[in-house]
């Protein structure tokens, strides 16, 4: 019905009936311009064919919001105008082929971080422009008005620029279903530094023993959301360099079948945000990054990308120590797990069991007695604990975990005393791989390092994997079935 609002009531304009309402939600009805002398529909819009010709009016063309069509958008108007211009030129004798308008709806959704690029083929006539959602542009030039010629003109500002071209949407390698992911993905973040070679060396070892796809990703520093002052040529140069870097690193994955390897490049001023977005898009089980090049050889010293990924990443994060590429052929025989009795530590144990089976390695379940944690004022009431009591409590917790390790996995417990991060870091010199859980608060199914794990990743002397919280069977889809841990 048509309505008019009056104070706290609405009036039906058809019969004058008044209706009391606390709130009114109305859907606007589109009205066309009703241009005198031109055929129009009941709502005043001009009917046109696929070439923009106005029905019933000779030598008259129309494009844009004034024409019939339920979806009104500037990019669609530009596409109609392109078709009309070609038809006019062809009728005037120009050597062009008048192509009908085939509508592709393209839009940019500005978010708090990188924008989302959306595309839908409304006429299902463009196989090169399938529908999709991506963090990287699905067309180029990637302006708001996606016309074949107008987009390039607006991007450059003076000359004609590049004609609009669509780019394929990224395939989702691990599309989730009601039964879980159909396949798994390892995402390796790279740049042109030697630390990326370390990440590739470790990722190569993991992927060689699984059926996972491997995505080698490189971000380049460009913000597609900012149109003013954009430089398409500079962007292309950055993209080409990133593509070359990622392809070179991909070629180092010599133990992986080519059909399991993919290269992704993305424009984002923040590599950490880029990798996080890619991990979500690809449903990655793990992100692998190298350490800062300023760290000591053989030790993990995560750079800014690694640091940011360790706060909120949607999957496990592996940080590989500086120089690992020179020793990656050494077998992984001993895997350590930092265990403190928490649910997050239990998740790390579950993941370590899968890795121990994969590498035929022995597990070390490592607990640390930290006396200063239990010290307090003698004036406080309550039971008094001796140092021996603390040792017994930690050892009892470790024994319970060992008792729950499946019989096909060899495992021992190790009890240390002192500062947890320092003790675990020193112990890591005897390990080939270490795992730790996220802290016990923050978003579920995401990595969020706490005090001990945050310091641990700066002192550990072997690759370290931090497991997201809230995941019952971390890494199971990468390396095997769910392991049961007490």
Residues 122-152 pLDDT 10s:
887 666 667 777 766 777 777 777 877 777 7
- Is residue 287 domain-shared with residue 432, that is, in the same domain? yes
Verdict on whether the full-model pTM lies above 0.75: no
In a domain, 363, yes or no: yes
Which tokens is 450 given? 């706490």
**383 shares its domain with 332:** yes
Say whether both 368 and 419 belong to one domain: yes
**Assigned token pair, 335:** 């895997």
pLDDT digits (tens, 9 = 90+) for 400-440: 999 989 999 999 999 999 888 889 889 999 999 999 887 64
Structure tokens at 418: 């002192």
Cβ atoms within 10 Å of 123's Cβ, excluding its own: 11
Residue pointed to by tokens 């993305």: 266
Considering the domain boundaries, does residue 134 fall inside one?
yes
Both 190 and 237 in a single domain? Answer: yes
Burial of 350 from C-beta contacts in 10 A (0-12 / 13-18 / 19+):
buried
> Two tokens at 277?
């977005």
Domain end among 120, 139, 166: 166
Radius of gyration of the chain, Cα coordinates, nearest whole angstrom? 30
Cα dist. 276→176, 280, 318, 350, 392 in Å? 18, 6, 13, 24, 41
What does the alpha-carbon distance between residue 71 and residue 141 come to, in Å, rounded to a whole number? Answer: 22
Phi, psi (deg, nearest 5) at residue 288: -115, 125
DSSP string, 71-124: ---HHHHHHHHHHHHHHHHHHTT-S---PPP--EEEEEE--SSSPEEEEEESSS
- Which segment, 180-194, 324-338, 354-368, 441-455, is predicted with the most confidence on average? 354-368
Q: Residue 256 carries which DSSP code?
A: S
Return the structure tokens found at 174: 């691990």
CATH number at residue 305: 3.40.50.12370
- Are 337 and 359 within 8 A, CB to CB? no
Domain housing 318: 179-479
Going by pLDDT thresholds of 50, 70 and 90, the confidence category of residue 8 is low
Q: Are residues 253 and 229 in the same domain?
A: yes
Domain count for the chain: 2
**Residue 56 falls inside a structural domain:** no
Examine the domain organization and report whether 353 and 414 are in the same domain: yes
Q: Do 324 and 265 belong to one domain? A: yes
162 lies in the same domain as 183: no
Same domain, 279 and 396: yes
Both structure tokens of 200: 């590739």
Helix (H, G, I), strand (E, B) or coil at 364: strand
Q: Is the domain of 134 the same as that of 225?
A: no
């Amino acid at each position: 019905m048509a309505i008019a609002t009056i104070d706290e009531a609405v009036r039906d304009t058809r019969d004058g009936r008044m209706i009391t309402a606390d709130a009114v939600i109305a859907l606007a009805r589109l009205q066309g311009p009703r241009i005198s002398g031109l055929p129009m529909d009941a709502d005043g819009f001009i009917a046109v064919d696929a070439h923009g010709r106005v029905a019933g009016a000779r030598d008259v063309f129309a494009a844009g919001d004034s024409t019939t069509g339920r979806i009104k958008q500037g990019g669609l108007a530009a596409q109609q105008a392109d078709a009309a211009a070609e038809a006019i030129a062809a009728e005037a004798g120009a050597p062009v082929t008048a192509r009908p308008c085939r509508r592709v709806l393209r839009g940019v959704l500005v978010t708090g971080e990188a924008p989302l690029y959306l595309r839908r083929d409304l006429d299902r006539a463009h196989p090169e422009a399938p529908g999709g959602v991506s963090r990287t542009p699905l067309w180029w030039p990637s302006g708001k008005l996606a016309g074949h010629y107008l987009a390039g003109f607006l991007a450059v500002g003076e000359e004609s620029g590049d004609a609009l071209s669509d780019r394929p949407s990224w395939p989702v390698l691990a599309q989730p279903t009601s039964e879980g992911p159909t396949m798994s993905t390892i995402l390796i973040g790279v740049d042109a530094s030697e630390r990326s070679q370390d990440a590739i060396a470790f990722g190569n070892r993991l992927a060689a023993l699984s059926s996972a796809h491997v995505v080698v990703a490189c971000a380049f520093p460009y913000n597609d959301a900012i149109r003013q002052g954009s430089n398409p040529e500079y962007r292309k140069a950055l993209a080409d360099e990133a593509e070359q870097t990622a392809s070179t690193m991909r070629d180092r994955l010599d133990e992986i079948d080519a059909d399991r390897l993919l290269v992704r490049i993305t424009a984002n001023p923040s590599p950490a945000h880029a990798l996080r977005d890619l991990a979500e898009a690809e449903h990655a089980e793990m992100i692998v990054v190298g350490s800062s090049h300023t760290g000591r050889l053989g030790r993990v010293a995560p750079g800014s990308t690694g640091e940011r990924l360790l706060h909120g990443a949607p999957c496990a994060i592996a940080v590989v120590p500086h120089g690992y590429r020179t020793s990656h052929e050494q077998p992984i025989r001993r895997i350590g797990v930092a265990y403190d009795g928490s649910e997050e530590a239990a998740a790390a144990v579950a993941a370590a069991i899968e890795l121990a089976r994969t590498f035929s390695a022995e597990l070390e379940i490592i607990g640390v007695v930290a006396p200063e944690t239990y010290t307090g004022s003698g004036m406080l009431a309550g039971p008094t604990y001796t140092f021996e009591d603390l040792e017994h409590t930690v050892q009892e917790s470790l024994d319970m975990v060992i008792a729950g390790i499946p019989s096909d996995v060899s495992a021992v417990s190790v009890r240390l005393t002192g500062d947890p991060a320092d003790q675990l870091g020193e112990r890591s010199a005897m390990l080939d791989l270490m795992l730790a859980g996220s802290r016990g608060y923050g978003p579920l199914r995401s990595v969020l390092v706490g005090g001990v794990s945050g310091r641990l990743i700066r002192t550990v002397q072997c690759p370290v994997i931090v497991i997201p919280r809230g995941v019952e069977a971390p890494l199971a889809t990468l390396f095997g079935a769910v392991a049961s841990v007490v």
